[in-house]
Chain A
Amino acid sequence: EAGVTQSPTHLIKTRGQQATLRCSPISGHTSVYWYQQALGLGLQFLLWYDEGEERNRGNFPPRFSGRQFPNYSSELNVNALELEDSALYLCASPEGIAKNIQYFGAGTRLSVL
C-alpha cells in the first residue's frame, strides 16, 4: 500500500509568484492535512480537506488556499509569495479510522527568493 506522496520535492520561486504543491493521501483515505514547517516556527497546521471540502483552517492568511479532487488528492496554492513562506510543506493522511493518527509524506521544500 502506497504511503502519502508529495510533489515536487523542491520548488524555487521568486517573491510575488504563485506556488502549487500536490499531495496524494494513503490509498483509500479521504482526508488530507497540510502543515508548514518553517525554520524557527516549528510544524503548524495549515488546512484540512475531507470528502472534497475544506473542513478546518489554521492561522494563515487567505493567500494560502487549496482544493481536493474527486480522487482525494489535494493541491495547496500559495499566492503572492513572500520570503517568509520559505519552508517545508508537509501533507498528512490518516491510515485507519482515527483521523487524529496521521502519517506524513516527504514534503515539498519551497524556497522563495
Chain B
Amino acid sequence: QKEVEQDPGPLSVPEGAIVSLNCTYSNSAFQYFMWYRQYSRKGPELLMYTYSSGNKEDGRFTAQVDKSSKYISLFIRDSQPSDSATYLCAMSAGDYKLSFGAGTTVTVRA
C-alpha cells in the first residue's frame, strides 16, 4: 500500500462546476499538507498548504484536512479552462521530505 493514495482520474467537468479532489494517507506523523498544480512538462506550483487539521480558503480554492480520517480534500469553485492541469497532493512530517500522491488530471471544458 502506498503512503499517499490519490485517484489519478482523469476528471472532466464543465466550466463553472466545482472540482473536488482528495487524497488519503497512512502515515499519522504527517503534519503539513500541500496541494500543487502542475501543467504539462512544467514544475509543480504550490497552491495551498495546511498545518495539521482544519480548513483553509484562498479565493476559489478550499483545502480541508481531517487527520482523524487521514483524508484531505481540495475544492475548486467556479472552475475555469485555465484550471485544467494535474493536481498533486503532498504531505510531510518532521523529516521535511514530501510524499506525493499520483496526481489527478483535471480538464475543465469551456
State how many angstroms separate the Cβ of A86 from the closest Cβ of chain B: 14
Given known pairs A90-B44, A107-B43, the reply for A102 and B103 (CB within 8 Å) is: no
In the complex, chain B residues whose CB is within 8 Å of the CB of A35? 98
Q: Give bound CA distance, A5 to B28, whole Å.
A: 33
How many B residues touch the partner, as a band?
20 to 34
Partner of B98, one of A98, A102, A107, A109: A102
In the complex, chain B residues whose CB is within 8 Å of the CB of A48? 96-97
Question: Is A25 interfacial (CB 8 A cutoff)?
Answer: no
In the complex, chain A residues whose CB is within 8 Å of the CB of B51? 98
| Interface residues in A, total, Cβ within 8 A | 26
In the complex, chain B residues whose CB is within 8 Å of the CB of A4? 43
In the complex, chain A residues whose CB is within 8 Å of the CB of B98? 33, 35, 43, 45, 92, 100, 102
- Considering only residues 1-44 of chain B, those with a C-beta below 8 Å from chain A are 31-32, 34, 36, 41-44
Q: Give bound CA distance, A103 to B48, whole Å.
A: 11
Partner of A105, one of B41, B43, B96, B102: B43
Question: Is A42 interfacial (CB 8 A cutoff)?
Answer: yes
In the complex, chain B residues whose CB is within 8 Å of the CB of A90? 43-44
Whether B97 and A56, one on each chain, are in contact in the complex, defined by CB atoms closer than 8 angstroms, is: yes
Q: Give bound CA distance, A48 to B46, whole Å.
A: 19
Whether A98 and B32, one on each chain, are in contact in the complex, defined by CB atoms closer than 8 angstroms, is: yes
A-B contact pairs, 24 of them (CB 8 A): A4-B43, A6-B43, A31-B96, A33-B96, A42-B100, A42-B101, A43-B44, A45-B97, A45-B98, A45-B99, A48-B96, A56-B95, A90-B44, A98-B32, A98-B51, A99-B96, A100-B98, A101-B32, A104-B36, A104-B43, A104-B44, A105-B43, A107-B42, A107-B43
- Not counting A98-B51, A102-B34, a sample of 15 additional A-B residue pairs whose C-beta atoms are within 8 angstroms of each other reads A6-B43, A42-B102, A42-B103, A43-B88, A43-B98, A45-B98, A45-B99, A48-B96, A92-B98, A100-B92, A101-B49, A104-B36, A104-B46, A106-B42, A109-B41
